[in-house]
Structure 1
Amino acid sequence: MRAHLLRTQQYPDLLSLLAMNLIWAGTYPATGLALTAASATFLTMFRLLTGTLVFAPFLFRGRPWTASKIVRTLGLGVIGFSLPLVLQTQGLRASTPAMAAISIALEPLLTALMASLLLKERLPKARKWALALAAVGAWAVAGFPRPGVQGYGMGDGLLVAALGCFAIYNVYSSSLSRMLSPQQATAATFAGGFLGTVPLWLATGAQVPHHWSGPPLWAALYLAVLGTAVAYFLWMLTASRIPMAIMALFLYIQPVLGVVLSAWITPEPMTGSFYLGSAAILLALYLGRDVIPAAPLDEQAM
């Protein structure tokens, strides 16, 4: 009986995972709204600068910094925030919506596999099946998009490269959050991403919103404060305590919540594939849950 129960101390972490994925699901419509008044590079720079300022007081409260930690943390910020911006933006322009949807669905799967290979995290058979089932579920939620359009090889490659950057950030943020305090790691990766985005913003014309008010401004503030500062801190905090494969599984909640939020904002009927995919993702979360090891036979007898 005990072998099928979650550890009690994991419930706050699971609530954190649910909260951050709910926030990130809201970033999809918020981003579309914010981009009506600001460029993608400016919006990213604004988000990362806000996150840096929020956590700046914690930079030197915690474990001491070394040159290797500084380089590693700033580099992870560039890989996790700056590079994917360019790769994903250019990839979306040169690829198809189907490939974009599939690449998003594959991020958690690649994250879990990289964590197993690079961090030597144990990946039980049940969790492997859970990740595969969740990937199929995410594909169903997206409406079973099919790639294969000729002439989009470059765009598809850029999307895959962006996917790899996201996965690298996910995996190494886990080890980084153990080397530093979660607040330190969050602040420094934001700073690295901001510094890496400034040259991109300058190279794309250094555009600044001239009339930034109303809904686009509120959407940008949501992205900066909740979608960046709060959500990524929760990610760092949780990554220091639970296996990356479980965190990757919970990323599959985003497309489900994203469809629900979009349907709420712009009422559209939900398809059968959405319900099928959502059920598959929920089942995958159950199959991939962490469990308390079974008690020895002599202990059970007592």
Structure 2
Amino acid sequence: MELRHLRYFVATAELGSITRASEKLFMAQPPLSAQLKQLEDEVGVPLFVRMPRGVRLTEAGVSFLEDARAILARSQQAGQRARERQAGARASLRIGLVPSAIHSVLPGFLRRLHEAGLDARVEAREMITSKQQLALRDDELDLGFARPGAGAVPLETVAVIDDPYAIALPAGHPLAASRSPMPLALAAQAPFVGFARHRMADYFDRTVALCQEAGFTPDIRCEAGQFVSVLALVASGLGVAIVPSSLSTLDSVAGGAVVFRPLQMARDKSRLAVLAPAGPPRDAWSAQIASLAAEALEELGRRLESR
């Protein structure tokens, strides 16, 4: 299957006519019809219904149109990025981040980019791990800061650190008197601040699962869709929350009104990683970017170990 076949197909689908598409493509109608038939034979299903006047897409054709447009768009982006790199222009860097990575590792990574003199146009997207994996596979991201786990998408793990779950407590909470690791069961009677499931399903489900493993169901009285909002509710005394330990490295977490205690049962149950597309060796620019991302993550790991 060649890109020109996809361009012919998209033009015909959008115009609803082989005649009009041939005019737009500056080619004769019979060769265009032959190319479209060749594409259908290769795909293995009819993509068009031929009518006396024009054509319309089959159900399979509607699905194929969406994918064809995406492939053509990515091919154009790839060419543009290659031209930027060759000309020494400011290259774009597309990164995905799970929500906690925005606060814990992104600032250090951006600082390293600046110090290394890499004038990249950073495009950062907040994405859960599963979506990052698909975006990396489909060349929609260059790097991902994600929480690795079992998955069918082949990716390269550039670096990984342990980021175990901790419990965030209001500074005046009885359980905040000690900073030593604690069994989660000690918080069984406390009200919880949870993550809004429609915004952060992974974290919501993991929070509930950890509590159930400890023998209780959390009494979730408040919900928020961002980590900073969750911590603000904890600081206000409305409940406790289970969060990644990396959030404790923030220089000013709710003005010092939140205390983090590691959970005995959650050590090694959460990790943070830098992921990259699997494939041939990266060029020098991409390799340097990946190395700086790994350094930023490893620095975060050292900060966590020192606490």
TM range (shorter): under 0.3
Say which structure is richer in strand. Answer: 2
TM-score by length of 1: 0.24
Higher helix share: 1
Largest Rg, 1 or 2? 2
TM-score (norm 2): 0.24
Q: Highest relative contact order (Cα 8 Å, sep 6+), 1 or 2?
A: 1
